[in-house]
Amino acid sequence: MLSVQNAYVEFRVAQTKKWPWSPAGIVHAVNGVSFELEAGRTIGIVGESGCGKSTLIRAVAGLAPLVSGTVTLDGEQVDYGNRTSMQRLRATMQMIFQDPIASLNPRMTIREIVTEPLTFFRPEMGAADRKTAALAMLERVGIPPAQANRFPHEFSGGQCQRIGIARALVAEPKVLLCDEPVSALDVSIQAQVVNLLKELQREMGLALVFVAHDLGVVRHISDEVLVMYMGAQMERAPAADLVRAPQHPYAKALLSAVPVPDPNIRIAPQMLEGDLPSPMDLPPGCLFASRCPHAMAKCIKARPPMVQREGHEAACYLLDDASAEQEPCLSDS
Ligand SMILES: Nc1ncnc2c1ncn2[C@@H]1O[C@H](COP(=O)(O)OP(=O)(O)OP(=O)(O)O)[C@@H](O)[C@H]1O
Ligand code: SF4
Ligand SMILES: [Mg+2]
């Protein structure tokens, strides 16, 4: 349903220039990410703040500039400069944003908000049918139709997120991109919204891309998980396998911070030392080398390739059979 290959996203930013003719700074926000997603399946995207999760899915949705790479949606490659291709993308792919209240127009009633996508994507529907479909969708996400003439500020954060979900799904897209849809909500509401998304996915066969900080939530909802660091993919694996046996040193450190609901299992959180590289000046080698306890001399020279091992795909020299003869760790010498 969705295939993203070798996606790169850069932003030009103003910076203090040494000379007036010095070039503008470039933030390398996404550096060669690839994944595929089937209908009815979920891929979770995790990684620490600033690693490029939002930028990646915004680029897929056409809301950030894709410098290179391809996105194929339901068998057709998306041409972001082409109006017809973008209209097809908008009808097929919708997005739920992180801030539930800011993502709704405060001047429109929630009925108008949920009806609007039908006006664009289902022009064949009459006004009465659109209204009926919008009210049914609101009811489906747990908002009583009697409240449909209210404005977004009259609802709680969790209700606004439900309204955002209703708006995204009312025109029956095939792919839903969710940018931390539950991070602004408290735990009990998070569970309701996540379970609602799962139910709707089952009913509609949606392909879900789910970005989150909370690995517990990602583990619950995802079939597969992609771990990002400094805009690049470090590991991709089925969710259960990644949680049970992460392969990449960064994925291991990230997962060691997730509490395990078993008092007999104690995993000490692994503290990462060292500085993150600047996204405006990426090193030539492994992007994680400055914080990796296993970094070797070759790690700082060239990017490790993606290698497959036991269903995991990870970018690390430690997993590469061809370089199995490991060099001593830099931290040991
Ligand atoms: N419009 C922009 N202009 C310049 N740099 C940007 C822009 N948007 C994002 N960035 C930079 O791109 C990088 C990735 O940002 P992004 O918002 O995708 O991170 P994230 O993983 O979603 O973080 P968080 O978990 O905090 O939401 C960051 O270094 C950020 O500063
Ligand atoms: S390639 Fe080297 S620096 Fe990068 S994660 Fe693997 S061991 Fe660590
Ligand atoms: Mg983000």
Domains in the chain: boundaries: 2-12+25-264
For residue 68, report the phi and psi dihedrals to the nearest 5 degrees.
-155, 170
CA distance 118 to 138: 14
Q: Which residues contact 123 (CB under 8 A, 6 or more apart)?
A: none
* Four-point Cα dihedral 54, 58, 64, 70, nearest 10: 110
What number of H helices and E strands is found in the chain?
9, 12
CA 293–ligand 2 middle distance (angstroms): 8
Q: What's residue 268's pLDDT? A: 66
Residue nearest to atom 17 of ligand 1 (CA): 54
Residue 98 DSSP class:
S
Q: Is the pLDDT of residue 128 over 80?
A: yes
Give CA torsion, residues 92, 5, 103, 227, to 10 deg.
130
Which has more pLDDT, 319 or 31? 31
Burial class (CB in 10 A: 0-12, 13-18, 19+), 172: middle
**Distance from the CA of 249 to the center of ligand 2, in angstroms?**
7
Question: What's the whole-model pTM score?
Answer: 0.91
C-beta of 13 in contact with ligand 1 (< 6 A): yes
Ligand 1 lined by 65 (C-beta under 6 Å) = no
Q: Are 73 and 2 within 8 A, CB to CB?
A: yes
Residue pair 286/317 in contact (Cβ under 8 Å)? The answer is yes
Can you point out the beta strands (E) in the chain? 2-13, 25-37, 42-46, 66-73, 76-77, 93-96, 175-179, 207-211, 224-229, 232-238, 306-309, 312-315
Ligand of minimum distance to the alpha carbon of 231: 1
Specify the pLDDT at position 100. Answer: 83
pLDDT confidence tier of residue 310, bands split at 50, 70 and 90: confident
CA distance 320 to 161: 43
Residue 333 CB–ligand 1 contact under 6 Å: no
| Nearest CA residue ID for atom 5, ligand 2 | 316
The stretch 288-311 carries a mean pLDDT of 92
Of the listed ligands, the closest to the CA of 57 is: 1
Query: What percent of the chain is predicted at pLDDT more than 90?
Result: 67
- Concatenated DSSP letters of 224-266: EEEEEETTEEEEEEEHHHHHH---SHHHHHHHHTSPPS-TT--
* Half-sphere CA count of 251, side-chain side, radius 13 A: 26
Mean pLDDT over 321-331 rounds to 67
- Dihedral of CA atoms 221, 91, 165, 59 in degrees, nearest 10, equals 60
For 2-12+25-264, which CATH superfamily applies? P-loop containing nucleotide triphosphate hydrolases (3.40.50.300)
- 296 CA closest ligand 2 atom index: 2
Nearest atom of ligand 2 to the alpha carbon of 249: 5
CA atoms lying within 13 Å on the CB side of residue 265: 9
What is the 29 CA–ligand 1 centroid distance (Å)? 7
CA-nearest residue, atom 25 of ligand 1: 49
* Rounded Cα distance, 219 and 44, in Å: 8
Ligand found nearest the CA of 296: 2
Ligand 2 centre to CA of 214 (Å) is 24
d(CA 319, CA 199): 37
Does the beta carbon of 159 sit less than 6 angstroms from any atom of ligand 1?
no
Is the model more confident about 193 or about 106?
106
| Lookup: tokens for 326 | 């490991």
Q: Which of 20-24, 110-114, 296-300 has the lowest mean pLDDT?
A: 20-24
Pocket of ligand 2 (CB under 6 A): 249, 286, 288-289, 292, 294-296, 299, 304, 316-318
Percent of the chain at pLDDT > 70 equals 93
Given a cut of 70, whether residue 136 has pLDDT beyond it is: yes
Does 64 sit in the ligand 1 pocket, CB within 6 Å? no
Asked whether 306 lines ligand 1 (CB < 6 A), one says: no
3-state class (DSSP) for residue 282: coil
- Site to substitute for ligand 1 among 9, 13, 27, 280, most atoms within 8 A of C-beta: 27
